[in-house]
Chains A and B, each alone.
Chain A
Amino acid sequence: MTSDTKIESLPRPADVSRRGFVGGLSAGILAAASEPARAESLADVPDRGPGADLGAHSERSRFVKLDRIPEATPGKRNVDPSDAINSKTPHQKLVGNITPTDLHYERSHSGVPDIDPAQHRLLVHGMVQKPLVFSVEDLKRMPSVTRVVFIECTGNGWENWKKADPDVTVQNTHGLVSTNEWTGVPLKFLIDLVTKDKGAHWMLAEGGDGAGVDRSIPLTEEIVNEAFVAYGQNGEPLRPAHGFPMRLVMPGFEGNLNIKWLRRLKFGTAPWMTRWETARYTQLLASGKARQFQLRMETNSVITHPSGMMQIQPGYNRISGLAWSGHGKIAKVEISTDGAKSWKQAQLSQPVLSKAQVRFQMDWVWDGKPTKIVSRSTDEQGNVQPDRQSFIAAMGTNALFHYNAQQTWSIDEAGRVRNVLA
C-alpha cells in the first residue's frame, strides 16, 4: 500500500488521543523493538556521529530481536531444539508480505543435512526415454523462473484443534507458513529433457535428508505448469534449512510436497503410498476414516497485529494481518471487531499475487470494552475461510493437519489480547 492511501485512511487527528495512537502502534509494528520510546523531546534524541565500519554483510539492529521458535507437536512448546520438529516464524514481529529468509518457518524430518553442492546430484528417471543426472550447475544453466509463493506446513494452526491455549502468540498458532521469492528450473523443462512417457501421471520426489522424505505428486496440468526445482531463495542460494542446494517448490500445495534437498524424481503410473502420504499427512475425520491426498492448502488468514499476548490501548488501533490461499489470489479479507457479528472489508497491499501471502489492514477505534477480533479471507475461486464451528463440524477434532478455521483473538477490558476458539 502507498503512504497516500494510508494517510487517507487514518482517522483525523482530532479523533485520536496521543496516548491511544502510540499505544496502538507499540502493540503492533513496534512490538519488535526492545526499548520503549523515551525521547519525549527532540532534545532527548542522541546526537549524530560517525557509525560502525561497513561490513561484508549487514546484521539486524541490536535493538531488534527476531527469532523463530523451535516446537514439537501441539501443546509441546518451549522444547529443547534436539526435540523440536519444526521452527516457527514470528509473524507478530514482521511487516509486509515477504518473510525474512532466516525466519522462514522450517519443518525437517531428520535434521538439516550439510550438503556440499559440488557433490549433490539430482536423478530424474522412471518412465522416461532418457534418465538423466543433473548437478547444481546444470540446473543454474537452464532457463529459470522466479516466483513469490507461500509455503505452509500442513500442521499450521494445529494448536487450536481441540482447545485454545490463551497464552500463545500468533507465532505459536500460525508460525508454520511463510512467503519467499524462489528461483529455479520449471518442472516442465526437466520433464521435456528426460522425455517422460505420456502415461506417467505420478511423480515421486525424494529428498537427500536422513529420512529420505518422499511424496507422490499427481502431474496435473496446474502442477506441471507451476512446479519448479528451486536453487534460489530471496535472491541467494537456498539456506540449508530450506533445502540447499535444491528443493521442489509446489505453489499452493502442502509444505511436505516441497521436497527439500531434492535428489530424485521418478515417474510412474500411481502413487507410491509412502509413509508421509499414508501414516503421516492424512487427516483423521470424526468417523475414524482418514482423508488422503488433501494436497492443496486452503484459504486462510490471521490477524497478526494485534495478536496473542499483546496489549492494546483504547482509541486508534490498526488491525493488520496476512491472508493466503492455495487456490490462487486472495480476493478480499473481512475483519470483525465484534466477535463475528458484523464484518468490514480490509485493504490489501498491492499487487496481490497468486498463492502468496498478502498483507491486509484496517483502521479501528477500540472503545475499551471487551470484544473479539477475527479475520476471514475469500479467494478468487470464491472459497471462503470457514468459521470454526462449521469447520469442526466437517473435519472433527482429530485431523491434526489442514486447519484453516478463522482465528479469533479476545480482548479484555485491560486490552490484553488472547487466543480463543471463537
Chain B
Amino acid sequence: MSSRNKLFLAGILTAGVLSAPASAFDFGRPATPAEIKLWDIDVDPNGRGLPDGSGTVAQGKQIFASYCAACHGDNGQGGIKDRLAGGQGTLASNMPVKTVGSFWPYATTLYDYIHRAMPYPTPGSLSTDETYAVTAYILSLNGIVPADGKVDKESLPKIRMPNRDGFTPEPEFDPAKLFRRK
C-alpha cells in the first residue's frame, strides 16, 4: 500500500466511515480467468456450470460399486451413510425416507454435489464423465433415467425430479418474490 493510501485509510478508520469508495485502496489482487475456472465449480438448476462430457448408467454402476457402495449400499440402500434410492410416497408419513428419488428437487444438484463432495475420502477425484455416469446411475436406481440411459449437460437440467414441486419457500426469503419490488 502506498503511504498516500495509508493516510486515506487512517483518516477513514478514525472517522469510523466504512462507506467511502473502497476501490481507492489496493486490497487483494485481480483474479485471472484461468484460476477462476479452476474454482468455479457450482452448477445451477438451469445447468449453468455443467461441463462438456457425458456418462451412462452402465458405466455409473461400475464406478458406484468401486467408490460409493461401501458407504451407500449396493443399490444406494442399506449402507452406513445416506440412502440414495427409494422412499417415494413416504414424505407425509411418520417415517419419511428422504432420498435423491423421493426428495431432491433438481438433478443438477446431484452432479454438483458428487463433483464437489464425493467420494468422501477423495472429493473431486472422479472425472467429468465418471461424475455424469454416477449421476445417471443414481437417477436410474430411482427410475428417473432408464437402465440404458445417459446424461450430459443438455439432458440433466431437463430432468424433472419426482419431488420438484415438494418445496414451499419461507415467505420472507421466497426467491420468486424477494427483490422483485425494487
Give A residues with C-beta under 8 Å from B.
Answer: 109-110, 123-125, 130-135, 138, 141-143, 186, 188-189, 192-193, 195, 201-202, 204, 206, 210-212, 214, 218, 220, 263-264, 266, 268, 270-275, 278-279, 282, 284-296, 397-398
Contact with A along B144-178 (1 / 0, CB 8 A): 00000000000000000000001111101111001
Q: Is the CB of B106 within 8 A of A138?
A: no
Judged by a CB distance under 8 angstroms, whether B7 is at the interface is: no
Q: Is the CB of A278 within 8 A of B106?
A: yes
- Shortest beta-carbon distance, A7 to chain B, in Å? 39
Judged by a CB distance under 8 angstroms, whether B23 is at the interface is: yes
- A-B contacts, 9 of them at CB < 8 A, read A131-B31, A143-B18, A193-B27, A211-B123, A282-B167, A288-B92, A289-B91, A295-B170, A398-B94
Please name the 3 residue pairs, one residue from A and one from B, whose CB atoms are nearest each other, closest first. Answer: A288-B92, A288-B91, A212-B116
Q: Is the CB of A123 within 8 A of B167?
A: no
- Shortest beta-carbon distance, A48 to chain B, in Å? 48
Q: Is the CB of A193 within 8 A of B22?
A: yes
Contact of B117 among A212, A292, A293 (CB under 8 A): A212
Q: Given contacts A290-B168, A293-B173, are A123 and B104 in contact (CB under 8 A)?
A: no
Contact with A along B21-42 (1 / 0, CB 8 A): 1110101111100011001111
Q: How far is the CA of A63 from the CA of B168 in the complex (A)?
A: 51
Judged by a CB distance under 8 angstroms, whether B44 is at the interface is: yes
Q: How far is the CA of A152 from the CA of B111 in the complex (A)?
A: 29
Majority-rule SS of B interface residues: loop
Q: Is the CB of B18 within 8 A of A273?
A: no
**Which residues of A lie under 8 Å from residue B51 when comparing CB positions?**
none
Interface band, chain B = 35 or more
Q: Is the CB of A110 within 8 A of B120?
A: yes
Contact of A125 among B1, B31, B108, B175 (CB under 8 A): B31
Q: Is the CB of B98 within 8 A of A210?
A: no
**Which residues of A lie under 8 Å from residue B27 when comparing CB positions?**
132, 134, 138, 141-142, 193
- Shortest beta-carbon distance, B10 to chain A, in Å? 11
Q: Is the CB of A273 within 8 A of B109?
A: yes
Closest A residue by C-beta to B13: A143
**Which residues of A lie under 8 Å from residue B25 when comparing CB positions?**
193
Give B residues with C-beta under 8 Å from A.
Answer: 1, 9, 12-13, 18-19, 21-23, 25, 27-31, 35-36, 39-45, 91-92, 94, 96, 98, 100, 103-106, 108-109, 112-113, 116-117, 120, 123, 166-170, 172-175, 178-179
Closest B residue by C-beta to A214: B42
Q: Is the CB of B42 within 8 A of A290?
A: no
Closest A residue by C-beta to B1: A141
Q: Is the CB of B169 within 8 A of A293?
A: yes
Q: How far is the CA of A57 from the CA of B117 in the complex (A)?
A: 38
Q: Is the CB of B175 within 8 A of A293?
A: yes
Q: Is the CB of B116 within 8 A of A214?
A: yes
Q: How far is the CA of A397 from the CA of B93 in the complex (A)?
A: 10
**Which residues of B lie under 8 Å from residue A268 when comparing CB positions?**
44
Q: Is the CB of B108 within 8 A of A201?
A: no
**Which residues of B lie under 8 Å from residue A291 when comparing CB positions?**
167-170
**Which residues of B lie under 8 Å from residue A204 when comparing CB positions?**
42
**Which residues of A lie under 8 Å from residue B169 when comparing CB positions?**
291-293
**Which residues of A lie under 8 Å from residue B18 when comparing CB positions?**
143, 186, 188-189
Q: Given contacts A130-B30, A131-B36, are A284 and B168 in contact (CB under 8 A)?
A: no
Q: Given contacts A284-B98, A286-B92, A290-B167, are A132 and B28 in contact (CB under 8 A)?
A: yes
**Which residues of A lie under 8 Å from residue B167 when comparing CB positions?**
278, 282, 289-292
Q: How far is the CA of A211 from the CA of B118 in the complex (A)?
A: 7
Q: How far is the CA of A137 from the CA of B42 in the complex (A)?
A: 27
Q: How far is the CA of A266 from the CA of B39 in the complex (A)?
A: 11
Contact of A397 among B94, B170, B173 (CB under 8 A): B94
Contact of A138 among B28, B43, B117, B173 (CB under 8 A): B28
**Which residues of B lie under 8 Å from residue A186 when comparing CB positions?**
18
Q: Is the CB of B170 within 8 A of A212?
A: no
Contact of B104 among A193, A206, A279 (CB under 8 A): A279
- Shortest beta-carbon distance, B48 to chain A, in Å? 9
Q: How far is the CA of A193 from the CA of B14 in the complex (A)?
A: 20
Contact of A272 among B44, B94, B98 (CB under 8 A): B44
- Shortest beta-carbon distance, A31 to chain B, in Å? 36
**Which residues of A lie under 8 Å from residue B30 when comparing CB positions?**
130-133
Q: Is the CB of B44 within 8 A of A293?
A: no
Q: How far is the CA of A202 from the CA of B176 in the complex (A)?
A: 12
